[in-house]
Every structure is written in C-alpha cells, then in structure tokens.
Amino acid sequence: MRETTQTYFPSLENIKAAQTILKGIVTHTPLMRNFTYSDKFGAKITFKREDLQVVRSYKIRGAYNKISGLSAEEKGSGVVCASAGNHAQGVAHSCHLLAVKATIFMPAPTPRQKVEQVRFFGKEFVEIVLVGDTFDDAQKEAISFCNQHSSIFIPPFDDQKVIEGQGTVGLEILEDCGNPIDYLFLPIGGGGLASGVASVFKTLSPQTKIIGVEPAGAPAMKNSMALGQNTKLDSIDKFVDGAAVQQVGDLTFEICRTHLDAVVTVPEGLICSTMLELYNRDAIVVEPAGALSVAALAQFAEEIKGKNVVCILSGSNNDISRTEEIRERSLLYEGLKHYFIVRFPQRAGALKEFLVEVLGPTDDIVHFEYTKKTAREKGPALIGIEQQQKADFDGLMQRMKEKDLNFEYLNERPDLFGFIV
C-alpha cells in the first residue's frame, strides 16, 4: 500500500484550458439519445459517444494535453508510456502530431487489434514493447526504461494534466445536454476519466449523482474506498483489459472518493451481454470497458425511472477475434449454456440414451470431447449444452439425476475456461 500525500483537485479553469489546447485535435463527440435503453428503463438515457473519438477512446484527450505541455528539451528526450491499448493509442497519435518519439510498453495479452492501431497512429514515431501479463507489469518496465534513458513518463491516469484532459468530456456533456442531468454513469479503470469528469460536474452540475462502474474482477477503486486507503488488489480478472488495473492512482483515489456518489461493480458476463445487446439493437460497437456504464443501469432501475441519465461509452477498440469468447461469457452469465463432465458407462448405447432420454427437445450440444478408455468402466466426456430458456436448466438437471449419471457441473468452477478454451 502507498500513502497518499497529494491533495490535488483539478480546477475548472485548468480543464477549460485543456479544452482550448485540444480544439482541432480531438473530436467533440456526440451526446446521443438511446431509445432502446430509454424504453427499457423508463428514463431518458443518453450516450456520450467517446467510442467515436479519433482514436476510438477518450484517452487522446489526456495524452495530448500532457505531451503538448512538455518543454522542447523534454520532448527531445522522448516519452514513454504503459498501457493496455487505449492510452497507448492516445500517446501514439499525440506523438505523431507533435513529432515526438515514444516508447510504448503494453501487456503481452493486449488484443492484437490494439497493438496494430498503436502502430498505425504513431507511425515512425513509436516503438512498441510487449511485456508482462498486466498493466502493472508493463508500467514497472516502462518506469525502469525512463530511469535508464532519462525519458518522460506519460501516466495513463494519475497525472494532473492527464486528468484535466479527460475532464473535457464532462465539459462537452454539459454543453450539449439541454436539461439537468440526474445521473451520470462512467467507467473506472485507473480513475483518470472519472476524476476529471466528476470534478467538472461537482462544480457545474452538483445535483447530478455520479456513479463509477468497475468490472467485478478488478474492483480496485471500490475496494480501496471500502478500506479507506488506496490499496493494490492481489489479483484481477484481465478480461476487461481497458479497465483491469490492480491499483488506481493516488490522485484519482482522493478525487473519486470525494466526488463520486457511488462505485459499483458489474460481472464480466453481464458486460458481454451488454456489448452484444448494444451491437444487435443499435449497431454500437464497444470494447468491454466501453460497456461498463450501460451494464450498471439495471442496478439502478428504480432510481432512474423518469430521470435524465447520461452514460459514457468510453471506447470501441475491441478485437473481433474475441467475439466468440464474448458470446460464451454472455451465455454462461445468462444461464443459457452449461458445461458438464459426464462419466459414461463404457458400453454401446450409453451416449444414445443421454441424447434421447436426458436432453430436452430444444437443448443443443455445442461442445463434446470424449476418448474411449478400454481399461476403465466409465469414460469421462466434456459436454457443453446450450438452451433456449434459462428455466430449462432445472429439467435437465432433474433428468440427469433420474438417470443416475455420474457427472460434475462445471459452470460454477473458477477454472471453467481452463476446460473449454
């Protein structure tokens, strides 16, 4: 744990100055009414579409505001950053525009699409280093590199200029929204966006309730708030790569615990369901972190009825190769897909009995792995079953028990994906 000694809170004056610097560099993204979710929750739901930003996320705002303010000598030394992708793209594009050399450290599991986009936006000004498993691993290597080469580190969230740049999202929302905003939902990774935007709202729209949203597998801000100090998580689920950090910033922690009305978490499976719903209903493509704010609406269904609600869609840098995993996680969360290890008697007809007498009329086997073991009485099979209705599961379980099958239900196991991926 690190002790916080900073008492910095971004001023409205500095955030407006950042907006002036960013004019002509970033896109003033639209604030768009969403009728699907407005009807679903009986509220006026509006999306701030940072997924349509020039680098497909808000991160360009903080990165450019920081790098543009460096001295000529500092720019000449080159800059360094660590990022799961979006901050890297913001830094890369900023360095291309400002003709500044950058070395960018990214976690090894970063989706290939994000790595390629960093190269695209940075052109000849960027060198990419893939290292470690998490953002924190990459940041450690980046800071070490800075110390060795006297380069300037560009923090992804815990920096005054970065926070002030991200805060310009809040200015745009209030400029474009004609009516008072009752609720604002925004994602939290390291806390830079939440800190900047919340600072704007607490000054210009203090009646707005601000809800920060984290993935359930990486609740760094919520956990730190509960403990009363900025605390590093022992481990995280890295699926929501744009928001999966083990520890938030010292600056952002102080700002968020002062300005946010609540911090909630949403399961990764629900995030996936929300991503698919946004695409299928409204043709909106977001990355997992970009769906966080919308995924949290159901937790506030009663409170937001009849209210004016804004959700920030923070980014759309999603790798299409992850689509199958996103669908898989969604089906598991919705209770429509189930995995079992079934130990069949090694006799003719055992599998046929399972198909005819155990499966329901609309049940579909979508995964099957089996190898006959001649020296054993029973042979294990890994079976994935997809169902049409969540309620169908109880009947399936009852029939399996009535047939006295030797089976193990895998969905509740934390290592499930070790079996099926």
Catalytic residues: 59, 314
Report the amino acid identity of residue 8.
Y
- Measure the CA–CA gap between 111 and 126, rounded to whole angstroms: 18
Quickly list DSSP for 124-151.
GGEEEEE-SSSHHHHHHHHHHHHHHHTP
- Measure the CA–CA gap between 192 and 84, rounded to whole angstroms: 15
State the SS3 of 72-103.
Answer: HHHHHCCEEEECCCHHHHHHHHHHHHHCCCEE
Going from the C-alpha of 130 to that of each of 109, 110, 115, 189, 316, the distances in angstroms are: 8, 8, 9, 20, 21
- Measure the CA–CA gap between 290 and 279, rounded to whole angstroms: 12
Cβ proximity of 158 and 55 under 8 Å? no
Residue 193's CB is within 10 A of a number of other CB atoms, namely 32
Task: Please name the residue that has the structure tokens 């739901």.
Answer: 45
